Amino acid sequence: MGKGPRRAATAFACIAIIFSSAFDMLDGAVAKLGNRITPFGGVLDSTIDRVSDGFLFGGIAYWFAFGPATAFPNSPIHRELYVVLTLVALMGALGT
């Protein structure tokens, strides 16, 4: 895969993350405006947020594990450590 498709995939991922974050902020505001706040909605929103975090950090860990070997050519840290650090960040995100 050349630089063109890789850059396009990276740009798509960034745009998807931005839209996901925007919609995550909007759903609570829309519920408040419509006076449709329920305990179930709060639990559902929190659950979907954690699933979203899992996909985000999972994608980053996947990229570190299987991405291009030239991503960090001069880095003294091995790819495995990047994967472990990403999964540690995921555990922190799931704990909030």
Active site residues: 49
Kindly state the DSSP code that residue 73 receives in the 8-state scheme: T
Q: With b meaning 16 or more CB within 10 Å and e meaning fewer, what string describes 50-78?
A: eebbeebbeebbebbeeeeeeeeeeeeee
**Longest distance between any two alpha carbons in the chain, whole Å:** 54
